[in-house]
Structure 1
Amino acid sequence: MLTAATDETTATGWAAVAEWWESWGQPVGVLLAIVGAFVAFWIVRAAIGRVVHGVVSGVKRRADAADTEALSNSPLAQVRVVQRTRAIGSVLNTLAAWVIGALALILILSILGVNAASLVAMAGFLGAAAGVGAQGVIKDFLNGLFMVFEDQLGIGDVVDLGEASGVVESVGIRVTQVRDVHGTLWYVRNGEIVRVGNESQGWARVIIDQAVPYDVDIDRVQERLLEIATRMSEDPAWLHRIIDKPEVWGVESVSSEAIVIRLVVRTKASAKYEAGRELRRRVKLGLDDLGLHLPSMQSIVVKGMEQSK
């Protein structure tokens, strides 16, 4: 009798649970799927962030640098590791969000009673829609992946993307964010980027095309320019930012008003603009010592300014 009563109680309990699940099972299941998706994304994001932080911290320790900006005094490869790791971390976070969101949607549809055949049909429909109407998104996605994994750019790089140029602040699956010198933040679709000019990789070259009077002693001016640049390269403040001996490439152009002489200095990529401004200041002061009255550039047409040696 006791066993029969116990079985009856158990059956009643299971019936109550079944009745409750029939009434509230779907809403609860959907809620759990949504919460689970957020928890999964948080875990994946935390794991990616921990890996990125570990790589960056390891590079800083090896470079004995207190912050990422100080890595400019370290070998370039270490700077690239930091920038590329952060860019890849940004891309992986975005990719994880899309994947977890898609899985959560499929799970929710299953809870709501949509059968597997319908899910397959929906996937086929979405695939067809993607092939017709989402070609741009797919192109953005693939181009973004290739740019990051080929190390075309990284967070912190100074780049020229054609319509926008500046410092890369974020690299996503679909959009790359670039802040220009005026502070404007540009959102550039990855699929629309057909060329990348990266000024933060390898080395850079400061080029100064200095106009001097037509009747000047060319050899004397060239010697003076080379002396100015050489002194700057030997200055302790610039010793580690100028990576090669300065060169005077000679006369770049001649007109009735002036002669243009080209001076070039190779620097670290991160020091190009700062070194260029300092070198121009020193050139001006050095030519003042020679008593030269420099001609107005408004009356001079300089040819070949963007040509290489």
Structure 2
Amino acid sequence: MFTSVEDTPLGPWAQFGADVLSFLRDAGLLLLGVAGIIVGALVLSWVLRLVIRRVVARVVNGAKSKANVDDTQALERSPLAAVRLVQRTRTLGSILQNIVNVAIGIVAIVLIINLLAPGVLGSIALLTAAIGAGLGFGAQNIVKDVLNGIFIVAEDQIGIGDVVDLGLATGIVEYVSVRITHVRDVNGTLWYVRNGEITRIGNMSQGWSRVIIDLAVPVDADINEVESAMLEAAKDLAKEPKWRTRIIEKPEVWGLESVSGDALVIRLVMKTRANAKDDVARELRMRLKHAIDALGLTLPQLNSIVLTGLEGAQRVRGANPPKTRPTPVTTEAAPIPERPVWKPKRTRKTAPPADTTPEGSAGDNTAGDSTPPDDDTTPKTGGTT
């Protein structure tokens, strides 16, 4: 009879080789599964990010075509809604890309763990407890930052390119993510502000702004003439094509703002686009200076005029002059009066003669031999107590 090869017992080396081949086969399958998960995650992330970039580019190109410009920076002259749309779309695009990367990474890690050790993620209660503990302790601040960042961008509170005051930092927004915001101030310092730490936002790039010019003139100047010259200079600025698109409404003279012994302060305001306030203000100041020079007036020195209130605030919180106590000024040193000191009055006691009785003393005093009165001018010869 013939015996099959399968029934033939294997030797020790043959058994070891079979075990090695079985291990390599299983390990290879696991490695192929892990590699497949990683490659699939990378491909899915690349596809989703490509779709997001295409959508953002389409929105930006649509805004450019409607404004009939070729560069995004030129959109400053287009309606403000187009600029806000571009900024908001880019910000949402960056946030969506971050969310896609994080979500795909978490799913890939869970799938790899489940492939390598299926029993680790089998208990739903253990996974829920771990997630709850992580959110309650270590990830609480991260969750706060992410949620606050999503609401900030979704509500259009902030966008890339906006000039904002976050309390912690003031400057131009260069980057917004789901957890952190980058703000570069006027000195060039880049501030990293966590979205969870932002409690208030002052956005200087949304809507419109107002240029406020307080011009001080001499007290003997004609107020009506000065106001007419200021208003005429502002109107000439608003009529020029270069500045016409940056000015929203006609300039206004609000009148006499402050009166003092040194100068009269007249206020002129002009409503402009939010991103053109500083440029319009500089040009308007120069033209007002030329108008005052044409009237032959000399600007006084403002040494004691302090404008307070919301219009004169230097920051969002406001700035008021410090309160100090007046310092007394004396021309010459006056003599300081000395404090009177009370001293007890000294009296002199004289003993009566041994041969004199009280009645005799009284009779002598009645007759005229009276002792001179005791006063401070008489010499004191007796003992003192």
Q: Establish whether TM, by shorter chain, passes 0.5.
A: yes
Which of 230, 249, 254 is 1:244 aligned to?
249
Once the 2 structures are TM-superposed, how far is the Cα of residue 23 of structure 1 from its aligned partner? 2.7
Report what 2:285 is aligned to: 280
C-alpha separation between the residues in 2 aligned to 1:161 and 1:229? 33
Which of 205, 208, 216 is 2:210 aligned to?
205
Which of 76, 80, 95 is 1:76 aligned to?
80
More helix by share: 1
Report what 2:63 is aligned to: 59
C-alpha separation between the residues in 2 aligned to 1:280 and 1:84? 34
Report what 2:99 is aligned to: 95
The yes-or-no answer on 1:142 pairing with 2:167 is no
Once the 2 structures are TM-superposed, how far is the Cα of residue 55 of structure 1 from its aligned partner? 0.7
Mapped contact 1:253–1:303 kept (Cα < 8 A): no
Report what 1:21 is aligned to: 25
The yes-or-no answer on 1:192 pairing with 2:197 is yes
Once the 2 structures are TM-superposed, how far is the Cα of residue 143 of structure 1 from its aligned partner? 0.8
Letter in 2 for 1:301: V
Once the 2 structures are TM-superposed, how far is the Cα of residue 120 of structure 1 from its aligned partner? 5.1
The yes-or-no answer on 1:258 pairing with 2:263 is yes
Normalized against structure 2, the TM-score is what? 0.72
Letter in 2 for 1:76: L
C-alpha separation between the residues in 1 aligned to 2:308 and 2:52? 51
Higher relative contact order (CA 8 A, sep 6+): 1
| SS of 1:238 mapped into structure 2 | helix
1:108-257 → structure 2 map (5 Å cutoff): 108-115=112-119, 116-118=121-123, 121-257=126-262
Mapped contact 1:207–1:264 kept (Cα < 8 A): yes
Once the 2 structures are TM-superposed, how far is the Cα of residue 238 of structure 1 from its aligned partner? 1.0
Moved more, 295-304 or 201-210: 295-304
C-alpha separation between the residues in 1 aligned to 2:158 and 2:239? 32
Moved more, 59-68 or 296-305: 296-305
Instruction: State the Cα deviation string for residues 232-282 of structure 1 (Å, max 9, x = none).
Output: 001121111111110011111222211211110011112111111111111
Unaligned runs of 5+ residues in structure 2 are 6-18, 314-385
Alpha-carbon RMSD across the aligned residues, in angstroms, is 2.2
C-alpha separation between the residues in 2 aligned to 1:120 and 1:58? 50
Normalized against structure 1, the TM-score is what? 0.89
**304 and 209 in structure 1: CA distance in 2 versus 1, 3 angstrom threshold:** farther
Once the 2 structures are TM-superposed, how far is the Cα of residue 16 of structure 1 from its aligned partner? 9.8
Which of 30, 46, 49 is 2:50 aligned to?
46
Once the 2 structures are TM-superposed, how far is the Cα of residue 224 of structure 1 from its aligned partner? 1.1
Letter in 1 for 2:85: V
C-alpha separation between the residues in 1 aligned to 2:310 and 2:77? 30
C-alpha separation between the residues in 1 aligned to 2:244 and 2:218? 32
Letter in 2 for 1:24: G
C-alpha separation between the residues in 1 aligned to 2:142 and 2:51? 27
Q: How many residues align?
A: 296
Instruction: State the Cα deviation string for residues 117-172 of structure 1 (Å, max 9, x = none).
Output: 24651343132221223221111111111111111111111111112111111110
C-alpha separation between the residues in 2 aligned to 1:17 and 1:75? 70
Mapped contact 2:262–2:302 kept (Cα < 8 A): no
Mapped contact 2:211–2:270 kept (Cα < 8 A): yes
Once the 2 structures are TM-superposed, how far is the Cα of residue 200 of structure 1 from its aligned partner? 1.3
Which of 32, 37, 40 is 1:36 aligned to?
40
Once the 2 structures are TM-superposed, how far is the Cα of residue 31 of structure 1 from its aligned partner? 3.2
Mapped contact 2:219–2:264 kept (Cα < 8 A): yes
Instruction: State the Cα deviation string for residues 177-223 of structure 1 (Å, max 9, x = none).
Output: 11112222111111111111111111111111112222222111111
Once the 2 structures are TM-superposed, how far is the Cα of residue 283 of structure 1 from its aligned partner? 0.9
C-alpha separation between the residues in 1 aligned to 2:127 and 2:285? 64
Letter in 2 for 1:89: G
Mapped contact 2:142–2:179 kept (Cα < 8 A): yes
C-alpha separation between the residues in 1 aligned to 2:255 and 2:21? 91
Identity of aligned residues (%): 52
Mapped contact 1:260–1:302 kept (Cα < 8 A): no
C-alpha separation between the residues in 1 aligned to 2:196 and 2:226? 49
Unaligned runs of 5+ residues in structure 1 are 6-14
